[in-house]
């Protein structure tokens, strides 16, 4: 009953005219970003953060807009997968397998409509799971002490690569770089300057937002300049008038339900994410249907399962971010940075100290699903036509918005130079296949990790064994160890299966 009451209060926040308007804007922009190959939800949210600060909107409105962008980008990824056979982001890769063949059969409109419905069902299931699981996990996390939180942060870093990650050594290197960057500034405990080089601008450390926009948005532009792709629009498949029968919708319902549940579980688990949710949903559906289906040749259930899976995972990834302060995906890492910039500490206390924000966002996710469904079926033709715009026009505009937004926040040319430096670093790292998310995670969790370690050392006079004193902390360390070992064993197997399925 308490959860239902809090959710009703959340609807009161989400249904305000300002929040509803920004949710609609976020859904539209997110769908557009998701439809454009290469950008993806993490880049989309990173680009929009400076705009949120520039507009001066309150934290709950900013988070509602950015989570709407996140949800919209997950919806939008299916559009280029179906129309161009180019996934808008990695989780949408599985949608290509049956979406594009269906479009070539003259059923592009039906494929887009069914995928939108599957995305709606998957996201709805994921949000319902978020509503019930998040408060339980938050109450459990209230029992954490400093040693348990330190172990939890170690767990977050240990599971960074996940089973779909390519190289755990590179992930560890990136996390170490992020932790090193987090030490820049004045040590609040001792007042000592650390790696500031006597530059006043570095006394307060390096701004997360500057780093995020540089690593994601600017590096994306540099990669595009190097590739010089997009000089000509892709050849489009025309959309015929929509003829959607009740039988088609009924056919995808079980697939959407199963995919939404599997995706939500994958989103909650550290290191799994939407890509795994999409893959597992498609693979399970293919096995359940068996010879009765025609997967790989345009089976609607081959579209519904992965779409429900990756949208369910998007909601699931919010669970560890809101309850533990541990991002479950690249996009939630960016959202975490935004919350920290607003001086809001994600974690179990957020459900009591900032309950209006938490439940406002959850209610906005439910409303956003309805808005996205209403946008993605009647207006899909507009999003498809936008795919024909060459990226050489779109990416510079996107980057300019990021530059203006960063400057509007701090009015500092130094931050612009730093953003460019992070952009170059992001470009080099992406060329070397070094992941960027661990860098952001290191910057975000580093200060809290250091604070909890110092707290344990001060209480117990430097006795390191107290980090393993409680049963809970031992369990977290054990899970962290499993998170390091299992991906090394299961990762190559899962990636091989994903490649074979995609081929």
d(CA 103, CA 81): 10
pLDDT on residue 129: 92
Task: Return the exposure string of 472-493: e unless at least 16 CB atoms fall within 10 Å of the residue's CB, then b.
Answer: bbeebbebbeebbeebeeebee
Residues with Cβ within 8 Å of 70's Cβ and at least 6 positions away in sequence, in order, are 30, 41, 44, 45, 314, 331, 335
Identify any residues that bridge with 193 across adjacent strands, giving them in sequence order. Answer: 186
pLDDT on residue 427: 92
Across the chain, mean pLDDT equals: 81
For residue 26, give both structure tokens. 């976020």
pLDDT on residue 146: 84
Q: Which of 75, 123, 87, 105 lies closest to 380 in space, CA to CA? A: 75
Low-confidence ranges of the chain (pLDDT < 50): 1, 163-164, 230-234
d(CA 109, CA 243): 8
Q: Strand runs (DSSP E) across 68-195, as ranges?
A: 185-186, 193-194
Whether the pTM exceeds 0.95: the reply is: no
Per-domain residue ranges for the chain? 3-228+245-501
pLDDT on residue 219: 85
d(CA 159, CA 503): 28
DSSP secondary-structure letter at 390? Answer: -
Distances in Å between the alpha carbon of 54 and those of 48, 49, 57, 87, 340? 10, 9, 8, 31, 17
SS3 content of the chain, % helix, strand, coil (to 5): 75, 0, 20
């Amino acid at each position: 009953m308490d959860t239902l009451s809090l959710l009703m209060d959340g609807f009161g926040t989400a249904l305000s005219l300002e929040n509803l308007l920004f949710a609609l804007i976020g859904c539209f922009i997110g769908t557009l970003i998701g439809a454009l190959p290469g950008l993806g939800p993490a880049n989309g949210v990173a680009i929009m953060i400076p705009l949120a600060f520039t507009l001066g909107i309150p934290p709950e409105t900013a988070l509602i807009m950015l989570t709407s962008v996140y949800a919209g980008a997950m919806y939008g990824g299916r559009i280029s997968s179906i129309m161009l056979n180019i996934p808008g982001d990695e989780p949408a890769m599985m949608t290509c397998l049956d979406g594009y063949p269906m479009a070539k059969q003259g059923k592009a409109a039906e494929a887009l409509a069914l995928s939108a419905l599957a995305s709606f069902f998957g996201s709805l299931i994921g949000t319902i799971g978020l509503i019930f699981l998040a408060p339980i996990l938050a109450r459990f996390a209230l029992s954490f002490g400093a040693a348990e939180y330190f172990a939890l942060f170690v767990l977050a870093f240990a599971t960074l690569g996940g089973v779909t990650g390519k190289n755990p050594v590179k992930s560890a290197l990136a996390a170490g770089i992020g932790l090193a960057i987090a030490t820049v500034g004045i040590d609040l405990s001792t007042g000592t300057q650390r790696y500031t080089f006597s530059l006043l601008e570095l006394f307060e450390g390096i701004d997360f937002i500057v780093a995020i926009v540089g690593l994601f948005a600017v590096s994306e532009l540099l990669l595009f300049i190097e590739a010089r792709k997009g000089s000509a629009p892709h050849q489009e498949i025309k959309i015929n008038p929509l003829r959607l029968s009740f039988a088609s919708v009924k056919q995808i319902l079980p697939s959407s339900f199963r995919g939404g549940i599997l995706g939500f579980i994958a989103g909650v688990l550290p290191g799994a994410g939407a890509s795994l949710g999409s893959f597992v949903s498609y693979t399970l559906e293919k096995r359940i249907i068996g010879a009765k289906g025609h997967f790989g040749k345009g089976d609607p259930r081959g579209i519904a399962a992965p779409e429900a899976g990756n949208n369910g995972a998007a909601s699931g990834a919010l669970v560890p971010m809101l309850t533990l302060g541990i991002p479950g995906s690249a996009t939630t890492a960016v959202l975490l940075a935004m919350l920290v910039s607003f001086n809001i500490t994600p974690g179990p206390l957020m459900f009591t100290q900032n309950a209006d924000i938490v439940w406002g966002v959850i209610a906005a996710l439910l409303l956003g699903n309805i808005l996205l469904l209403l946008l993605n079926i009647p207006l899909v033709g507009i999003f498809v036509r936008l795919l024909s715009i060459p990226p050489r026009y779109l990416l510079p505009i996107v980057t300019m918005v990021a530059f203006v937004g960063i400057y509007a926040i701090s009015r500092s040319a130094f931050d612009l130079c730093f953003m460019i430096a992070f952009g170059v670093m992001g470009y080099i790292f992406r060329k070397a296949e070094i992941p960027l998310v661990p860098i952001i995670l290191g910057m975000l969790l580093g200060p809290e990790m250091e604070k909890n370690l110092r707290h344990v050392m001060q209480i117990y006079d430097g006795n390191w064994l107290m980090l393993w004193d409680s049963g809970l902390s031992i369990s977290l360390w054990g899970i962290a160890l499993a998170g390091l070992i299992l991906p090394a064993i299961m990762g190559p197997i899962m990636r091989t299966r994903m490649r074979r399925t995609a081929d």
